[in-house]
Structures are given as C-alpha cells and as structure tokens.
Chain A
Amino acid sequence: MTTSLISMLQDPNQKERNLFFKVITNPVGAFSAGMVVVFALLAVFARWLMPYDPTVSDYNAISLDPTPAHIMGTDDLGHDIFSRMILGTQFTLSGALLCVTIALLVGCTLGLLAGYFGGLWDSIGNWLSNILQALPGLVVLLAAAAVLGNNLYLAMSIYGFLLSPAFFRLMFVTVRGVRNELYVDAARVSGLSDFAIITRHVLGVVRAPIVIQSGIVASIAISIQSGLQFLGFGSTDTISWGSLLMDGFANIWNHPVRLIWPSVGLALLLVSIVLFATTLRDELERAGTRIRKSTKKSLVSHRRTEAAEAPIVHIENDRVGEEILSIKNLEIGYLQGQGNYKVVVHDANLSINKGEVVGLVGESGSGKTQTALALLGLLPQGGTILGGTIEFEGVDLATIKSKEFDKLRGRRISYIPQEPMSNLDPSFTIGSQMVEPLRVVMGLSKVEAKARALELLGMVGLPNPEKTFRSYPHEISGGQAQRVLIAKALSCGPDLIIADEPTTALDVTIQAEILDVLRNLQKRTGVAILLVTHNFGVVADLCDRVAVMQNGRVIESGGIYDIFDNAQHSYTRELLGAILDENGPAREAYELEVKAGN
C-alpha cells in the first residue's frame, strides 16, 4: 500500500524529467554529465570502438610515439595504447562501481538502521564503523591479496567495505537529525509505519548528501585502484589505466608521453564524476528554493502599497531631557536579484530623549528589528539605508563610515540581544568575555577591569558575582545569561541601549525579574533605552513612550498613556484588541457548556 501511495502522490516521472532537464541546462552539469556518459559508453562499447586488439603485439610497431596509425603510440610489446586506454575504461569504471555499490549498501543500510532505530543498531553500527575506520586500508588490501589471491575485483569489494563508514557516518547523522524533526513525530502520531516514515520523510532529506558522497567515494576508489595496479597489484594481464600508468612511469625517461594518457584520463574522469555529483546535489536541493523566490517577489508587490492611513503622532508636552536620537524618514531596503530593492522600512520617524525608555512595537515583518539593526550599523548582507537620517548627538549614523561607527558601537550605543545563550561564546568564561571589552574599549588594566566586571555583575542582581565570573556559559541559566548580557551592555557606560526582544526567550517569572533589573538600572544610570518588542505587557511595564510599526512604517507614536488609553490608528487598536485580557471573562465551566449544548 505504501509504495502505491508514494507513487500516487509524488509522480516520480515528472520529477526525474525535471531534474534531468535542470542538470543538462546547467553548463557545468552538461559538461560533467556529458563526460561521464562518454566514459561509460567507451567502457560498454570498448570491444567495437578499439581500432586494434590491445592484446595482440605488432612487432613492426614497438615503442612508437604517437603516429596517425597509433594516435597514442604503442608500448614495448607493440600494443596500441589508444586501444588499451579504451579497454582500461571498462575495468576502471566497473571496479569503482563495485566499490561504491558495496560501500553504499553496507554504509547506508547500517546508517539508516542506527540513525532511525538507535539502541542496539546504534551500538553495532558505530562499533563496526569505528573498527573499519581504524584499519589501514592499503595494508588490509595487501594482506587480503596474500590470503585470497591476487584479484582486483575482490580487492575493490573489500575496499568497498572499508569505505562504508563514509556513508554510515553521513547517513547516521542526517537520519538522526530528521528523526527529531516535529514532522516525523506528527507522522508517528498519525500511525504511519516506520517503513512509510523512512520512504516519505527520511530518504528525501538524505539523498542529496549521499549523491555527493558517492561522487567522492567513486573518485577515491578509482585513485586507489590505479594506485594498487601502479604498485604491481593484480594480474599483469588485466588492462587498466593503472597498469598503463605503471608502464608509463617505467618509461618516463625514454617515452614520457606514455605517462600522459592515463593521467589525463584519470584526471578527466575524476573531475567529471565529482562535478556531476555536485551539480546533481545542487539541483536536488534547489527543487524547493525556486518556488520560494517567486513567492517572495509577490510579497514585494504587496508590501509596496502606500500607507492606508496617515501616521498619527500624539503631541507630548511633558517630555524632558534633550534629544539624543532622531530618526527621520528612514528607508531600508534589501538588494534583490535584478538590482531592485525590496523595501522593508519606509519612512520611519522616531525620537528618543536622554533617559527615556521607548518601546518599538510591531508584529513580525513590521520592520522593527531592521530599524534597530540600522541604529547599530549591523544590517545583514544586502541591507542598505536607502534614505533618511539617523541623528545621534549630531552625527548621522545613516551615512558615517564603518570605522567611525566602531567608535560609537559598544561605547555610546550598546545592545541587548534576544537569545542570551547564543550571544555568549561557549568556549570562554563569563569573566573573560566581560573583561576583554572593558580593557579594549575603556582601556582599563586587568585588575581594574575585573573589579568593574564584578561590580556590574552585582548590579544586575546576580547573587554570586564571583562564581558567575568564573563560570562558562553552559553552567548558567538563560535568565542569568541575560543578566550577564545586560551587564555587558552597561559596561562602557552607554548613552543609548538597543534591546531587541530582551525577554522573549525567557520564562514569564524570569522575564519579570529581568524587567525589574532593566528598570532599576535605567533609573540608576539614566541611560536611554529603545526596547524592541511585540509584547504590550513588557511595554506597559517599562516604557515611557511607544512607537507602533506596521509594514515598515511607524504608524502611531506617543506617550504610553496616549497609546494605551487613546489609540487613534486602526491598526494600533486592532493590536490592543487582540490582547487576551487575563481579567476578562474566563471560559464558561465545562458543565455549563455541556448543559447548554444538550
């Protein structure tokens, strides 16, 4: 049932045709695929393509250099080298095919079982793979030849086993990754059998890395095989590129040209195989992304619409302090493929005074994070400020050079990120990560910097600063890590802190503590904070003023009470209306609902 189900849903014919077409239209793909096909045809039709019988000696043509009759020349016994090259393809390719097939079968099967089922399979697979990897390949091959006889196909089969860990490892790691995906869990909950889950969800993900690994293993097999023959392994009657290579090397002084043919053949074959595998992999992976690009384009046209309503700016007469940051008509865009920009922030206006906490609120895609990153000069690759000004104490951050930005960033403007853990380097202690910027930026001595770091850690409410100072990031909790990052942001005595969703990754109880820390420190130091968040509760807790963003525009801004009690813009009202009020009515009790239902 499962197979019919897959064929019904996936229509493999259509997919294959598309894939073939894609590989052929790619120039590298066309070249490499063409070469691989040529070599394969040579191997299959060798018998008919050879101009001479490669085993018959022509005593009138011994050790010839290339002539029109023998385009690659002849060897010491008068064999035509061109014919031997063609016949050699047969053995070179079949040996490699045998080796890759065995490695694939053994490695992938074990990897799949070990990765998917774990437990005993995991132990057996890893144990075997470790042993195989510990064995020295060439020595094993030579020993096997001594015991089992001098047969190259046998040697390539054994080498296939020895190479199987290359597939095992890859398969094991990939399958284990896929297995933990939620969609595999969902499939298990739906009652799919293991076989169906593997064929539908797992194989699609592993095929691309396996393709490229096969290319690499095939080239290793070909090289090893030639190397073995070069060492004189295998019967001398076997005609292959390796034996031609040995012959060429033996005559390197009198007939250097003989070395060229097998070398060029090997190089061309190896390059084609690896390039072909790479292109195939790329095209397999690209299957999805092409669609994605086209949908993004449709989004661009959506987003470019004009603002439906004029932005609303509440007049605030009670603001104190002088202006520290003023954003005017800011426009941020990302360079798209065809040289046009996808605008993510249009016409944003925002002002922050000294000592103010301003909330920048919006949903995902509203441009709030882009605005914050522009303030730090940290827009990702392709992001550019297309227009407007960001005035910070008389300097326009939109136009200054990155070197000048370095003087401001981390000194006058600092940053508290959303994910505390990923913003601490796991291989250094908290202490060294705090001391380093203090020494570089503030020019403190080692002792002074440590004292200051401990003071800061105490300020953010860490109960045992000394202990935290000595800890590595994995030894502290997420809440503690966020406190450390707040301490780091404060360390240079900044005028403005940009906090990008500083509590979103934390539990509610921890969030409340972090908000307390931020509030107390803000009161103590008088630093201005731009708080980027989607959570109106956090805004209500901390902010003096609020700016609401939608589709890249600041659509309403004003004092905190203006926004919460007197929102004018329809979108702001919609957002506030969407908040679930915990003081509102709870759900009716089950018994009542059931009664009403009956």
Chain B
Amino acid sequence: MTEKLLDVRNLEVTYHGKKLGKEGFKALKGVSIDIRPGETVGLVGESGCGKTTLGRAILGLAPVTGGELLFEGKDIAHANRAQRKEIARDMQVVFQDPFTSLNPSMSIEQILSEPLRAQGVSASEAQSRVRELLDAVALPSDAGQRRAKEFSGGQRQRIAIARALALNPKLIVADEPVSALDLSTSARVLDLFLEIQKRTGVAYLFISHDLAVVRHVSHRVAVMFGGEIVEWGNGDQVTSNPQHDYSKRLMMASPVPHPRLQAERRRQREALLAAQTQEAR
C-alpha cells in the first residue's frame, strides 16, 4: 500500500509564445511530488503560482518540457492519444467552474455516459451505471434527463464529481472544486469528496487557494510559489506550523472567522512581515 501511485519528478512546463526566438514562460520549474493510493495531496498557492498547470500537466492538458511523470511506474509525460485513453480509466478530473465544465446542450445522462461510452461500455450498461453514479453523489435519479443549466452550482459540481467517478479511477485531480461554491454548499461537497474516498479508495490531488479547505481534506500538503514547491510534508504540520517564509505569509494572510482571534492573527501577521523585511535587509 505504500507504493507510489503517481510520482512527479522535476517536472517542467514551458509555454512558448508565437514569436520565434522569444523565450517561453516557465510555468513549472522542476516540481517533484508524489501521491500514494487512496491518499489526498493538497496543493496550495496563489493565482499564477503554477498549481493549476501542475494538475493540467498530470492530465495531459499542458505541454511537459522536462522531467518525468510516472503513473503506476509508467512514464506518461508524453503519452499519445491511445495511451491517454488507457490512462483515462485511472485518472479523472473535477474542474473549478461547474458552469463551464458541463456542456450546456447535453443532458446529464449524456454527460455522465460520455466517458463510459468512450471506453466501449455498452449503452444499457452505461445507463445503469449512470443511475448508480447519480445515487453516489446524492442527486435524484430523474436528474439524468435534465440539462446542466437547470442545476445550482453545488449540484453541478456533484455532477462533475459523478463524471469523474464514472470509470472508477485511481486518481482524481480536483482543481479548486469548491471555490466557486457557497459556504454551506462547499462544506457538503467537501464531505462528499471524503466519503467517496473512504468508500472507493481513490486518491486526490486537491488544488486550492484556501488553506483551511486543504487542511480539512489532505493527508499531505504542498505549498507552491512561483512555479516551485516551497514546502511539502504532513498536512497538519504545513498548515499549522509552516516553515517557509511564503507559507508563513500565506497562513497569516487568511483571516480567522472570529473578530478577537482575527485581531490577534493581524498582529502576528504584522510582526511576521516586519521580521521578514528586516531579514531581507
């Protein structure tokens, strides 16, 4: 059980501009991370730090320009279409925006059966699997005939999760899956993630900008900054007692939902910033 499901070694992603001779933008500068079966690895950082790019590179949606990407021991960094189709059975995705990640003109049943049919599952089998999936994410079984736009944000995210679960994957990359949702909805969706993991043993790469969310769901946490992982380790450790300067700033910046505690947090943050600028001098 301690074998690595996914092993990312020195991964580099460079986006090349259209102009010749101009050096591309290095979104990932040698990132190393690993995920074990059934484990949740949290990935925190601010916008533009490369956390989404890492997720997309693992899914084969971003151009890998260096390093290795081992999934169950096989290098998938440069997998072709046929190999990707193989991997699709084991690796799925839940995107941030539940409004654009579901095709508005398709019914829920069509959306959910798409990955099944792509893998050659028969129509009748797909249909019964769709009912199971709707049940697994606590949506009414008549939801299949309706279209995505008839559902609220939280329900749409449940549909996206159901689509990711369709093929019983071993890994789900969840890219900010709750940040577009309301507070109480997001709590319920997070619980659904945890419950599914307990039941199916799927591993998550859980990408979020919110430390509290990541702390709640992750076994291990990586903090990204400027295309690199600056801190990586036990989830409790990283989110409550961070060591790297940036992780500390990140933690101190997230407001605590209580006025007295937040006033204290603010003082700590001011002290930290003062100390860090002193050090920089």
Which residues of A come within 8 Å of B, CB atoms?
1, 5, 8-10, 181-183, 185-194, 196, 200-201, 204-205, 287-288, 291-292, 295, 363-364, 507-512, 515, 534-541, 543, 560-561, 564, 574-576, 578-584, 586-590, 593-594, 597-598
Assess whether B158 is interfacial by the CB under 8 Å rule.
no
Residues in A whose Cβ lies below 8 Å from that of B240: 582-583, 586
For the A-B complex with A1-B117, A509-B250 known, give 15 more contacts whose Cβ atoms are closer than 8 Å.
A182-B97, A183-B103, A188-B61, A188-B84, A190-B163, A192-B118, A200-B103, A292-B149, A364-B182, A540-B257, A540-B259, A580-B215, A586-B216, A586-B239, A590-B38
The answer to whether A582 touches B215 (Cβ under 8 A) is: yes
CA distance A589 to B240 in the complex (A): 14
Q: Which residues of B contact A8 (CB under 8 A)?
A: 123
With contacts A189-B88, A540-B262, A587-B218 known, is A507 near B209, CB below 8 A? yes
Known contacts: A9-B110, A579-B183. The answer to whether A295 contacts B259 by CB under 8 A is: no
Cβ of B234: which chain A residues have Cβ within 8 Å of it?
589
In this complex, what residue of B is CB-closest to A185? Answer: B61
- Which residue of the partner chain A has the closest CB to B119? A191
A507: chain B residues within 8 A (beta carbon): 46-47, 209
5 contacts between A and B (CB under 8 A): A190-B163, A191-B86, A537-B256, A580-B213, A597-B38
Which residues, 199 to 249 on B, are CB-close (under 8 Å) to A? 209-213, 215-220, 234-236, 239-240, 249
Residues of B near A205 (CB, < 8 A) are 105
A288 adjacent to B216 (CB under 8 Å): no
A76 to B107, alpha carbons, bound, how many Å?
A: 64
Contacts A9-B113, A594-B38: A580 and B216 contacting too (C-beta < 8 A)? yes
A196 contact from B47, B97, B118, B215, Cβ within 8 A: B118
CB atoms of B255 and A186 under 8 A apart: no
When the two chains form the complex, which single residue of B167, B209, B212 contacts A582, counting CB atoms closer than 8 Å?
B212
Residues of A within 8 A of B211 (CB): 508, 582
Residues of B within 8 A of A534 (CB): 182-183
- Would A537 and B88 count as touching, CB distance under 8 A? no
Q: Indicate with 1 or 0, residue by residue over B150-178, a CB within 8 angstroms of chain A CB atoms.
A: 10010000001001001100000000000
- Bound CA span A204–B106, Å: 10
A597 / chain B contacts, CB cutoff of 8 Å: 38
Contact B269 A512 (CB under 8 A): yes
Complex: A561 Cα to B260 Cα, angstroms? 9
Complex Cα gap A515–B255 (Å)? 10
- The distance in angstroms between the C-alpha atoms of A201 and B114, with both chains bound, is 11
Contact status B219-A593, CB under 8 Å: yes
* Chain B residues with CB under 8 A of A192: 114-115, 118
Q: How far is the CA of A537 from the CA of B257 in the complex (A)?
A: 4
Q: Known contacts A508-B250, A587-B218: does B150 contact A364 (CB below 8 Å)?
A: no
Using CB atoms, name the residue of chain A closest to B48.
Answer: A507
Given A192-B114, A512-B255, A537-B257, decide whether A587 and B235 contact each other with a Cβ distance below 8 A: yes
Q: Which of A183, A291, A564 contacts B102 (CB 8 A)?
A: A183
Determine the chain B residues whose CB is within 8 A of the CB of A512 once the complex forms: 252-255, 269
Chain B residues in 8 Å Cβ range of A584: 216
As a 0/1 sequence over residues 45 to 86 of chain B, the CB contacts with chain A under 8 angstroms (1 = contact) are 011000000001001110000000000000000000100111
| B259 A561 Cβ-Cβ under 8 A | yes
The smallest C-beta distance from B132 to any residue of chain A, in angstroms, reads 17
Q: Is the pair B149, A575 in contact by a Cβ cutoff of 8 Å?
A: no
Closest Cβ neighbor of A292 among chain B residues: B149
Please measure, in the bound complex, the distance between the C-alpha atom of A183 and the C-alpha atom of B120, giving whole angstroms.
20
In contact, A186 and B163 (Cβ under 8 angstroms): yes
User: Do A291 and B103 form a contact, CB below 8 Å, given A190-B115, A586-B215?
Assistant: no
B61 touches A5 (CB 8 A): no
Q: How many angstroms between the C-alpha atoms of A567 and B199 in the bound complex? A: 36
Q: How large is the interface on B (under 10, 10 to 19, 20 to 34, 35 or more residues)?
A: 35 or more
The answer to whether B266 has its CB under 8 Å from any CB of chain A is yes
**Within the assembled complex, what's the spacing in Å between the Cα atoms of A534 and B153?**
15
B93 at the interface (CB under 8 A from A): yes
| Nearest residue, chain B, Cβ from A564 | B258
| Contact of A580 with B249 in the complex, beta carbons under 8 Å | no
Residues in A whose Cβ lies below 8 Å from that of B184 = 363, 574-575, 578
Residue B12 CB within 8 A of the other chain: no
Which chain B residues border A9 with CB–CB below 8 Å? 109-110, 113
| Inter-chain contacts of A194 with B (CB < 8 A) | 81
Q: Report the separation of the CA atoms of residues A575 and B184 in the bound assembly, to the nearest whole angstrom.
A: 6
CB distance from A182 to the nearest CB of B (A): 4
Q: Which residues of A contact B60 (CB under 8 A)?
A: 188-189
B259: shortest Cβ distance to chain A, in Å? 5
Question: Which B residues lie within 8 Å of A581 (CB)?
Answer: 212, 257
The docked-state distance in angstroms from the alpha carbon of A196 to that of B110 is: 13
Judging by beta carbons under 8 Å apart, are A587 and B102 in contact?
Answer: no
B175's nearest neighbour on chain A, judged by CB, is: A182
Contacts of A363 in B (CB 8 A): 182-185
Whether A508 lies near B257 (C-beta < 8 A) is no
Query: CA separation between A472 and B40, bound complex, in Å?
Result: 42
Query: Quick one: which of A190, A540, A543 contacts B118, CB cutoff 8 A?
Result: A190
Residues of chain A within 8 A (CB-CB) of B97 are 182
Q: How far is the CA of A189 from the CA of B59 in the complex (A)?
A: 6
Knowing A288-B104, A363-B184, A534-B183, the reply to whether A191 touches B88 (Cβ < 8 A) is yes
Task: Give A484 Cβ to nearest chain B Cβ, in Å.
Answer: 19
Most chain A CB within 10 A, of B106, B213, B234, B258, is at B258
In the complex formed, the residue of B with least CB distance to A559 is B259
Q: Chain B residue with minimal CB distance to A585? A: B236
Contacts of A196 in B (CB 8 A): 118
Say whether B219 contacts A589, CB under 8 Å: yes
Is there contact, CB below 8 Å, between A560 and B219? no
- Nearest CB of chain A from residue B180's CB, rounded to whole Å: 10
On whether the beta carbons of B105 and A186 are closer than 8 Å, the reply is no
Tell me whether B250 and A587 are in contact (CB under 8 A).
no
CB of A538 within 8 A of CB of B259, answer no
Interface centre among A189, A194, A515, A581 (most CB of B within 10 A): A189
Residue of B whose beta carbon sits closest to that of A295: B150
- Whether the pair A511, B253 counts as a contact (CB closer than 8 A) is yes
| Assembly CA distance A291 to B269 (angstroms) | 51
Instruction: Tell which of A187, A560, A594, A598 touches B259, judged by Cβ atoms closer than 8 Å.
Output: A560
Cross-chain contact of A508 among B1, B84, B166, B254 (Cβ < 8 A):
B254
Whether B278 is near chain A, meaning CB under 8 Å from some CB there, is no
Q: Tell me the nearest residue of chain A to B47, going by C-beta.
A: A507
Chain B: minimal CB distance from A344 (Å): 16
